[in-house]
Structure 1
Amino acid sequence: MKTKPDPDSLLGHLVELRNRLLRCVVAVLLVFIALAYFARDIYAFLAEPLLAVLPEGASMIATDVAAPFFAPFKLTFIVAICVAVPYLLLQMWQFIAPALYHKEKRLMAPLVFSSTLLFYAGISFAYFIVFPLVFAFFTSVAPEGVTIATDISSYLDFVLKLFFAFGLSFEIPIAILLLVWSGSVTRQALAEKRPYIIVGAFVLGMLLTPPDVLSQILLAIPMCLLFEVGLWLSRFYEPKTTDDSPEEQQQ
């Protein structure tokens, strides 16, 4: 007769982790199946910022035989993961919440929610603000006589890289709040290092974006602004220091 694993044991935690990972996989697959029919429309929506600035008569191309099939479905699978992120975070939260103190739960719950919104905000900023400016710049500097014909797979890799860079950079306020709340760094120390952080933002913008100045600036400036936002919000998350009496310290 099989016995149910003790939920407090290592085996019990592993079983629960497996079950929650399976739920996450099933959720992503269900969303992917629901979106698969619209794969071509999703890719067309993604390609719209580039197609809007291409010269008349120019179009995107597929240099690989299977690219017209695989590129839209690859994008759809990634979109399915992004759509399922709230459920994935819920599963993660339900797994780690029992190990947290009440004060930690009160802090982590809004941070998990806000980090999701910030990641979506970074993706939206890249799509609606950065892409039109960057693609218009790229097409305007093309040499005379050069026909612009972007491969659909290369374009997908390019925009996914930018989505990841901007989505990750918009998490800066959350990172600052966690660092200050945990006591790893103080607000004063971060404020004193502001010049180095600004330089670091432009260096990261150079590393995370394509080798053009425009996209680097469009990433570095929001990172600097988000740093200031996180620095201002961190005043509400500073750990409280209390001077305990000797009697309290002995208890």
Structure 2
Amino acid sequence: MTEEQKTSGVEETFISHLVELRNRIMKASIAIIVVFLCLMPWSANIYDFLAAPMLAALPHGSKMIATGVITPFLIPVKVTLLVAFVIALPWVLYQLWAFIAPGLYAHEKKLIAPLVVSSSILFITGVAFCYYLVFGVIFHFINKVAPASISVTPDIDNYFDFVMTMFIAFGMTFEVPIVVIVLVRMGLVSLEKLKSIRPYVIVGAFVVAAVVTPPDIMSQMLLAVPLCLLYEIGLLVAPLFVKATQAPVESEETV
């Protein structure tokens, strides 16, 4: 085979991968759009559900405000789009898996599939933990310490930004076991090293919690303590995961 034929074959393979990637992205996007369109008639109810923790902390009969002209329409649409993405996430992950799986060895498939599924579950768990537990503590604290001369009427745009920031913070916090497992499995950091830096991780967890959450001890503890516990879970699970996903050559070397 000549050099020109090899180059042509590489280009064709690259183009075919791009076409496959485009098709997978289109299928994932169509699923999100379909779910979004199905949910649109209930976009106002979906936003009411998101706003429920704040409304529960406000004085009886209080409501949130919208200062923008199109904000009352735009914010519920944004929330509905995010919910549609979460609902369609299994299909999106399947498309990702279908694109990368043909190029993986058997032991690599054992590595990727559990990580994709578990990381998605952990992120959603972190968001649910934030919504059902943390928001109630934070909002009640903020409204409790507010001066009597202030009428607390949050703007829905600012509330949406705050909620998304907190969701991302807690969702990423719950990914700590995955980070630990990947570091150990890829050989970037040894398990013994991760155990030895445990005191620094604890201090770092409280620093991150102090920066991300409002300045009350309870909400900071609700972020820092799970982060530390999840780090410990990652240390426990990492050796089991490494053993289960070793390649045959690696297993023989270990023996």
Q: Scaled by the length of structure 2, what TM-score is found?
A: 0.88
Structural RMSD (CA): 2.0
Deviation at 1:88, TM superposition (A): 1.0
Change (3 A) 1:44 1:228: same
Deviation at 1:210, TM superposition (A): 4.2
2:73 is aligned, of 69, 73, 79, to 69
Question: Which amino acid letter does the alignment assign opposite residue 81 of structure 1?
Answer: F
> What are the equivalent positions in structure 2 for 1:50-129 lying under 5 Å apart?
50-129=54-133
Q: Flag structure 1 segments of 5+ consecutive residues without an equivalent.
A: 245-251
1:21 and 2:1 are equivalent in the alignment: no
Greater shift after overlay, 195-204 or 157-166?
A: 195-204
1:138 and 2:138 are equivalent in the alignment: no
3-state SS in 2 of match to 1:37: helix
1:161 and 2:165 are equivalent in the alignment: yes
Q: Flag structure 2 segments of 5+ consecutive residues without an equivalent.
A: 1-8
Question: Where does residue 199 of structure 2 map in the other structure?
Answer: 195
> What are the equivalent positions in structure 2 for 1:169-208 lying under 5 Å apart?
169-208=173-212
Which structure: greater helix fraction? 2
1:236 and 2:234 are equivalent in the alignment: no
Change (3 A) 1:192 1:8: farther
Question: Which amino acid letter does the alignment assign opposite residue 108 of structure 1?
Answer: I
1: CA distance, partners of 2:12 / 2:178: 30
2: CA distance, partners of 1:165 / 1:62: 25
Greater shift after overlay, 49-58 or 201-210?
A: 201-210
Change (3 A) 1:243 1:18: closer
Per-residue CA deviations over 1:24-82 (Å, capped at 9, x if unaligned) read 11111111101111100000011111111111342211111211111101110111111
2: CA distance, partners of 1:65 / 1:49: 25
Q: After the TM superposition, which parts of structure 1 deviate over 6 Å for at least 4 consecutive aligned residues?
A: 5-8, 240-243
1:46 is aligned, of 39, 47, 50, to 50
Between the two proteins, the alignment pairs up a number of residues equal to 240
Conserved 8 A contact 2:123-2:171: yes
Deviation at 1:237, TM superposition (A): 2.8
Q: Scaled by the length of structure 1, what TM-score is found?
A: 0.89
Question: Which amino acid letter does the alignment assign opposite residue 52 of structure 1?
Answer: A
Deviation at 1:173, TM superposition (A): 0.7
Question: Which amino acid letter does the alignment assign opposite residue 201 of structure 1?
Answer: A
Deviation at 1:216, TM superposition (A): 2.8
1: CA distance, partners of 2:205 / 2:187: 23
Conserved 8 A contact 2:210-2:220: yes
Instruction: Indicate the percent of aligned positions where both proteins have the same amino acid.
Output: 46
2: CA distance, partners of 1:23 / 1:73: 22
Question: Which amino acid letter does the alignment assign opposite residue 129 of structure 1?
Answer: L
Change (3 A) 1:242 1:18: closer
3-state SS in 2 of match to 1:60: coil
